[in-house]
Amino acid sequence: LAGLRRNAAATLLRNWRGSATVPTGALYPHQWSWDSAFIAIGLAHLSPRRAFAELTALHGAQWGDGRVPQIVFNPAVPEDAYFPGPPFWRPLPRQGPAAGVSTTGLVQPPVHATAVLAVAERHPGDATDAAVRQLYPRLARFHDYLFSRRRVASGLVGIVHPWESGLDNSPFWDEPLGAAGADLASADLADDITGLRRDLRHADAGHRPTDEDYGRYMGIVAAYRDRGYADDDLLSLPFCTVDPLFCALLAWSEHSLAELARRTGADPGRHTERAQELAYQLHTRLFDPALGCYVALDARTGRPLRKRTVSGLVPLLLPGLPSGRRSALVATLTGPAFGLGSRDVRGVPSYDLTAPDADLHRYWRGPTWMNTNWLLWTALRRQGETRHAERLASDMVRLVADAGFREYFHPVTGEGLGADHFSWTAALLLDVLA
Ligand code: DGY
């Protein structure tokens, strides 16, 4: 284990670029939002200063309206190293980040306040107090943006692109993407999508989203950009959904924000209220008793997207679950769909193993990922499910010990998939081993 810890630290060092950490060198050569939050949780075991620096750099790119962008581009990296790169995004004057900072116009799941609190709890002291005082207003502005500008479907918070869910090609999005596909403005762009994609130069095409997915991603994001990233009338966008992982992480982080408010002398009350209200909506509107998990919602049609994905288990993180909910979720987690504790499954897969459209090599349609496994490991511990938590931790350690710090893993064979030297795999392993 000492060797694994050393290699995890070496991976994070290798991916540090002076003010932030890249997810991995070639495939993702910039700073990603939720990656940085998970990376900070790992950096807390190496250097709290660097952990806070990581999140401070990210929030330095916050937009005028409060959104914290999905990607902060590194100006030292050639523009065409990543697609869609800096020239694509074009925020309106005075709308985007500070002058000279270049970002995308989307967001990612808000796990940052929880990361800041995790670092702060591990390292009490004056330097931490100063970092928390500096970060709290920025975190609160991001959550204000989400709760006010992204509010859809009576009190739930929506996303406007699959990239915002963090689980780009999750089976949740097949139906709304299919519906959006027909009349997307940038169909011309989609014609040459294979030539434009950069990810396929660095990862196996069979492990990545398809060209058809990418064509639709581009059309949806172009539509949002072309209306100036306006969040009025969200339901008129080609894609607008409610995601259980996004909402659960927002509610969880809002509780963390309440604690950070307390530490800075601000009012924690409004954060606690918002967290409870969002959790209430999530629990009453998104739980599917027949599937035994939470599902997503197509906000445009009001239709539930009835698939068992790992995102639908993440609400297990929340305090005060309705009665019977914990055992229902644990039953799903340990049943044939996700197989936790079974001899034939390694970690918790991203999608229902029994589903006919599961694809155990392809990104979020089957493989086991370290971040969702870390979220469930944390959830199981918080719910007192110690035996399941321990089993999950040992699966996570074994996957990395056998295959390395890969981006994701085959949930049956344990084969390493996607990129190598992947930062959040290293960071979260450090946390599991702590
Ligand atoms: C990618 O580039 O594939 C990311 O998942 C988008 O955030």
- pLDDT for res 183: 59
DSSP secondary structure letter of residue 107: -
Ligand 1 center–CA 160 separation, angstroms = 15
Q: pLDDT band at residue 192, thresholds of 50, 70 and 90?
A: confident
Closest atom of ligand 1 relative to the 106 alpha carbon: 7
Predicted-complex ipTM score: 0.88
Residue 321 · residue 252 · CB < 8 Å: no
Q: Is pLDDT of 157 > 80?
A: yes
What's the token pair of residue 150? 């992204």
SS3 95: coil
Residue 94 pLDDT = 85
**Residue 70 alpha carbon, nearest atom of ligand 1:** 7
Which ligand 1 atom lies nearest to the CA of residue 27?
Answer: 2
Substitution candidate for ligand 1 out of 107, 168, 198 with most atoms within 8 A of CB: 168
Catalytic entry in 168, 211, 277, 288: 168
Query: Does the annotation count 168 as an active-site position?
Result: yes
Please state the rounded mean pLDDT for residues 246-268: 98
Q: What is the whole-number distance in angstroms between the Cα of residue 9 and the centre of ligand 1?
A: 24
Q: What is the pLDDT of residues 25-57, one digit of tens each?
A: 999 999 999 999 999 999 999 999 999 999 999
- Mutating to test ligand 1, I would choose from 24, 28, 33, 196 the residue with most ligand atoms within 8 A of its C-beta, which is 28
Does the pLDDT at position 186 exceed 70? no
Q: What are phi and psi of 76, to 5 degrees?
A: -80, -10
Protein residue with least CA distance to atom 4, ligand 1: 163
Q: Are 29 and 23 in contact (CB under 8 A)?
A: no
Neighbours of 336 (CB within 10 A): 11
Residues linked to residue 71 through DSSP beta bridges, in sequence order: 32
Closest CA to 20 of 72, 82, 70: 72
> Please, which residues have CB within 8 angstroms of residue 231's CB and are 6 or more apart in sequence?
149, 150, 160
pLDDT tens profile 88-125: 999 998 899 999 999 999 999 999 999 999 999 999 99
Closest CA relative to residue 40, chosen from 121, 106, 143:
121
Question: What pLDDT, on the 0 to 100 scale, is given for residue 153?
Answer: 75
- Extract the tokens encoding 384: 């007192």
Average pLDDT over residues 257-275: 98
Residue 168 has pLDDT above 80, yes or no: yes
Q: What is the pLDDT of the chain when averaged over all its residues?
A: 96
Mean pLDDT for 384-391 is: 98
Q: Specify the residue for token string 């204000």.
A: 144
Domains and CATH numbers, the chain: 2-433 (1.50.10.10)
Please report the pLDDT score of residue 191 as a whole number.
64
Residues 195-224 have a mean pLDDT of 92
198 within ligand 1 shell (Cβ under 6 A): no
Supply the DSSP symbol for 254: H
- 103: helix, strand or coil: strand
Of 224, 272, 235, 240, nearest in space to 176 by CA: 240
Residue with tokens 């496994």: 373
**Average confidence (pLDDT) over 181-200:** 71
| Percent of the chain predicted with pLDDT > 70 | 97
Q: Cβ(287) to ligand 1 under 6 A?
A: no
More confident residue, 419 or 196: 419
Q: Within a 13 Å sphere around the CA of 365, how many CA atoms are in the beta-carbon half?
A: 18
Two structure tokens written together for 63 = 């937009």
Q: Per-residue pLDDT for 418 more than 60? A: yes
**What is the structure's pLDDT at 315?**
99
Residue 175: active-site member = no
> Ligand 1, atom 6: nearest CA belongs to which residue?
163
- Verify whether ligand 1 is closer than 6 Å to residue 217 (CB atom): no
**Mean pLDDT, residues 183-193:** 60
pLDDT per residue over 282-303, tens digit each?
999 999 999 999 999 999 999 9
Q: Where are the beta strands (DSSP E) in 191-326?
A: 241-242, 287-288, 293-294, 296-298, 303-305
Which tens digit of pLDDT belongs to each residue from 122-135? 999 999 999 999 99
For the stretch 302-350, pLDDT in tens is 999 999 999 999 999 999 999 999 999 999 999 999 999 999 999 999 9
Query: What mean pLDDT is predicted for residues 152-161?
Result: 92
Distance from Cα 236 to the centre of ligand 1, integer Å: 24
Yes or no: say if 399 and 409 are a contact pair by the CB < 8 Å rule. Answer: yes
- Helix 2-14 vs helix 33-43: crossing angle, to nearest 10: 140
Q: What is the pLDDT of residue 372?
A: 99
CB atoms near residue 20 (< 10 Å): 24
Contact at 8 Å (CB) between 294 and 243?
no
The rounded Å distance from CA 391 to ligand 1 centre is: 30
84 preceded by a cis bond (ω within 30 of 0):
yes
User: From the CA of 71, how far away is ligand 1's center (Å)?
Assistant: 9
The CB of 26 under 6 Å from ligand 1? The reply is no
Taking the CA of residue 168 as reference, the ligand 1 atom at the shortest distance is: 5
Cβ count near 233 (within 10 Å): 9
Question: Which H or E run includes 245?
Answer: helix 244-264
Catalytic pick from 164, 199, 395, 407? 407
Match 């009190």 to its residue by tokens.
155
Residue 182 has pLDDT above 80, yes or no: no
Q: How far apart are CA 428 and CA 375, in angstroms?
A: 10
Distances (CA, A) of 338 to 52, 117, 293, 411: 35, 30, 11, 9
pLDDT of residue 104: 98
Ligand 1 atom nearest residue 108's Cα: 7
Rg, C-alpha atoms of the chain: 20
Q: Give 170 Cα–ligand 1 centroid separation in angstroms.
A: 12
Mean pLDDT of the 152-171 span = 95
**Mean pLDDT within 4-31:** 97
Phi/psi of residue 315, each to 5°? Answer: -60, -10
Contact at 8 Å (CB) between 369 and 354? no
pLDDT computed for residue 115 by the predictor: 98
pLDDT of residue 416 exceeding 60: yes
pLDDT of residue 188: 53
Per-residue pLDDT at 56: 98
Q: Is 163's C-beta closer than 6 angstroms to any atom of ligand 1?
A: yes
Distance CA 187, CA 197 (A): 15
How large is the average pLDDT for residues 212-223?
91
Residue nearest to atom 2 of ligand 1 (CA): 28
Q: How far is the CA of 130 from the centre of ligand 1 (A)?
A: 33
Distance 3 CA to ligand 1 centre (A): 30
- Taken as a whole, the chain contains a residue count of 434
Average pLDDT over residues 192-201: 89
Tell me if 168 CB under 6 Å of ligand 1.
Answer: yes
Locate all alpha helices (DSSP H) within 265-315, ordered by sequence.
269-285
